[in-house]
Amino acid sequence: MDLVSLSLKLAADAIIDVPPPKARHLMAARRAAGVDGVDLAMAEVIASQPAEIVIGLSAKNSLAGLDIATLTKPLPEKRAGPRLSELPGYGPAKFWVADLKADVENWREGKLRWSDVDKGILVGAPGTGKAFFAHALANELGFDFISTSVADWQGKQGGYLGATLAAMSASFEDAMSRRRAVLFIDELDSLGDRSRMRDDHSYYEGNVINRFLELTTHLFEQDGAVLVAATNRPHLIDPAVLRSGRLEEHVYLSLPDEMERADILSYHLDRALQTAELRRFTDDLRLATAADLERLARRAKRVARRRNGDVQVDDVQAALPARTPLPEEVLHRIAVHEAGHALAALASGFVGSVTVRIESHMTDGATVRDGGQVNFRMNDPCCLRKSSSSRISASNLVEWPQKRLSSALGRPALGDIRAATSIRRPGSPIALPAVMASASRCATSATLIAWTNPSLQRPTSGLRSMRF
Model pLDDT for residues 39-58, shown as the tens digit of each residue: 888 888 888 887 777 887 87
**Residue 187 is among the residues annotated as catalytic for this protein:** no
- pLDDT given at position 436: 44
- pLDDT given at position 171: 94
State how far the Cα of 169 lies from the Cα of 278, in Å rounded to an integer: 46
Task: Flag the least confident range among 136-140, 257-261, 437-441.
Answer: 437-441
The mean per-residue pLDDT over the stretch 90-102 comes to 86
Each domain of the chain, given as residue ranges in start order, spans 20-72, 84-252, 258-320, 328-456
C-alpha dihedral sign at 446, 378, 367, 462: positive
DSSP secondary structure of 233-251: -GGGS-HHHHSTTSS-EEE
Task: Flag the least confident range among 18-32, 158-172, 434-448.
Answer: 434-448
Which residues does 225 contact at the CB level (< 8 Å), separation at least 6?
Answer: 119, 175, 176, 180, 181, 183, 219
Helical H segments across 16-117, by residue range: 23-33, 40-47, 51-59, 68-72, 91-108
User: What is the DSSP pairing of strand 323-325 with strand 361-363?
Assistant: antiparallel
User: How far out from the chain centre does Cα 175 lie?
Assistant: 20
- pLDDT given at position 1: 57
- pLDDT given at position 50: 76
Task: Kindly report the average pLDDT of the chain as a whole number.
Answer: 76
Specify the length of the chain in residues: 468
The mean per-residue pLDDT over the stretch 345-352 comes to 79
CB 170 within 8 A of CB 216: no
Counting DSSP H helices and E strands in the chain, the numbers are 19, 10
Which residue among 249, 294, 338, 359 is the active-site one? Answer: 338
Q: Reduced to 3 states, what is the DSSP secondary structure of residue 326?
A: coil
Band of the pLDDT at 428, cuts 50, 70, 90? very low
Model pLDDT for residues 319-333, shown as the tens digit of each residue: 998 888 888 888 888
Burial 74-86 (b: 16+ CB within 10 A, else e): eeeeeeeeebbee
**147 burial level (CB within 10 Å; 0-12, 13-18, 19+):** middle
> 84-252 has which fold?
Rossmann fold (3.40.50)
Model pLDDT for residues 271-316, shown as the tens digit of each residue: 999 999 999 999 888 878 888 899 999 999 999 999 999 999 999 9
